Chain A
Amino acid sequence: MTRAPRAFRLDDPNVATVKPDELPPEGRDIVITEEPPEAIEAADGALVPIPKRRGPSWGGILLSALGGLVMLAIGIGLERLIRDLFAAAPWLGWVALVLATLALIAFLAIVGRELAGMLRERRIERLREAAADAVAVRDHAAAKRVVRDLIALYGERAHTAAGRKRLAAWSEEIIEADDRIALAERELVAPLDLAAKRAVANAAKQVSVVTAVSPRAIVDVAFVVFAAVRLLRRISMIYGGRPGLLGFLRLARAAFGHLAVTGGVAVGDSLVQQVVGLGLAARISAKLGEGVLNGLMTARFGLAAIAVCRPLPFLREPPPKLGDVAGELLGGTREEAAR
Chain B
Amino acid sequence: MSFLTGIASRAGAAAQGLWEAGNQLLQPSLRLGVTGLARSGKTVFTTALVHHLVEGHTLPALRASSQGRIRRARLDHQPDDAVPRFPYEEHVAALTEARRWPRSTERIGELRLDVEYERASGWRRGPATLTLDIVDYPGEWLLDLPLIEAGYRDWSRRTIEASRRLARAAAAAPWHESFRVLDPAGPADEGVAARASDAFKAYLAALRAGPEAVATTPPGRFLMPGDLAGSPALTFAPLDLAPDQAIAPRTLAALMERRFESYKTHVVRPFFRDHFQRIDRQIVLVDVLAAVDAGPAALAELEEALDQVLLTFRVGRGGYLAHLFSPRADRVLFAATKADHVHHTSHDRLEALVRFLVARAVRRTEAAGARVGTVALASVRATRETVVREGWDTLQAVAGTPEAGERVGDEVFDGEAEAAVFPGELPERPEAVLEGAVPPGSLRFPRFRPPKVGRDALGRPGRLPHIRLDRALEFLIGDHLA
Binding site for B on A (CB under 8 A): 2-11, 24, 29-35, 37, 39-41, 43-44, 48, 50, 53, 55, 136-142, 174, 176
Contacts and interface: CB of A to CB of B under 8 A. Distances in A.
Contact of B409 (A4, A31, A55, A142): A4
14 contacts: A3-B395, A6-B395, A6-B421, A7-B409, A10-B399, A34-B385, A37-B381, A37-B465, A40-B347, A40-B468, A48-B61, A140-B373, A140-B374, A174-B359
Nearest to A7: B408
A34 B386 CA distance: 4
Given A53-B121, A140-B373, A142-B371, A10 B418 contact: yes
B474 A6 contact: no
B362 A141 contact: yes
Interface string B336-367: 00000000110110011001100100100010
A52 B425 CA distance: 43
Contacts of B61: 44, 48, 136
Contact of A6 (B345, B389, B409): B409
A174 B391 contact: no
A259 to B, nearest CB: 22
Contacts of A44: 61, 468, 471
Given A6-B409, A31-B390, 12 more contacts: A2-B424, A4-B409, A6-B395, A9-B417, A11-B417, A33-B387, A34-B399, A40-B467, A50-B67, A138-B351, A141-B373, A174-B359
A330 to B, nearest CB: 36
A33 B348 CA distance: 22
A140 B390 contact: no
A142 B366 CA distance: 10
B417 A10 contact: yes
B442 interface: yes
Contacts of B411: 7, 9
Contacts of A176: 348, 351-352
A37 B429 CA distance: 27
Nearest to B384: A34
A110 B417 CA distance: 77
Contact of A32 (B386, B430, B441, B482): B386
Q: Give the 7 A-B residue pairs with the shortest CB-CB distance, closest first.
A: A7-B408, A5-B444, A137-B475, A5-B424, A10-B418, A35-B385, A53-B121
A30 B482 CA distance: 49
Contacts of B63: 48, 50
B123 A55 contact: yes
Contacts of B419: 7-10
Contact of B355 (A9, A50, A174): A174
A117 B441 CA distance: 61
Nearest to B348: A176
Contacts of A39: 344, 385
Contacts of A43: 344-345, 347
Contact of A137 (B356, B395, B474): B474
B422 to A, nearest CB: 5
B464 to A, nearest CB: 12
B391 A7 contact: no
A41 B424 CA distance: 23
A176 B350 CA distance: 11
A35 B390 contact: no
B442 A29 contact: no
B334 to A, nearest CB: 10
Chain B CB count within 10 A is highest, among A53, A142, A174, for: A174
A35 B386 contact: yes
Contacts of A35: 384-387
Contact of B375 (A34, A138, A141, A142): A138
Contact of B373 (A34, A41, A138): A138
A173 to B, nearest CB: 10
Contacts of A4: 409, 424, 441-442
Contacts of B356: 174
B463 to A, nearest CB: 11
Contact of A7 (B66, B422, B467, B468): B422
A8 B417 contact: no
A34 B67 CA distance: 30
Contacts of B384: 34-35, 37
A183 to B, nearest CB: 15
A32 B387 contact: yes
A10 B417 CA distance: 7
B420 A137 contact: no
A245 B142 CA distance: 55
A23 to B, nearest CB: 12
Contacts of A140: 355, 362, 372-374
A33 B385 CA distance: 9
A10 B418 CA distance: 6
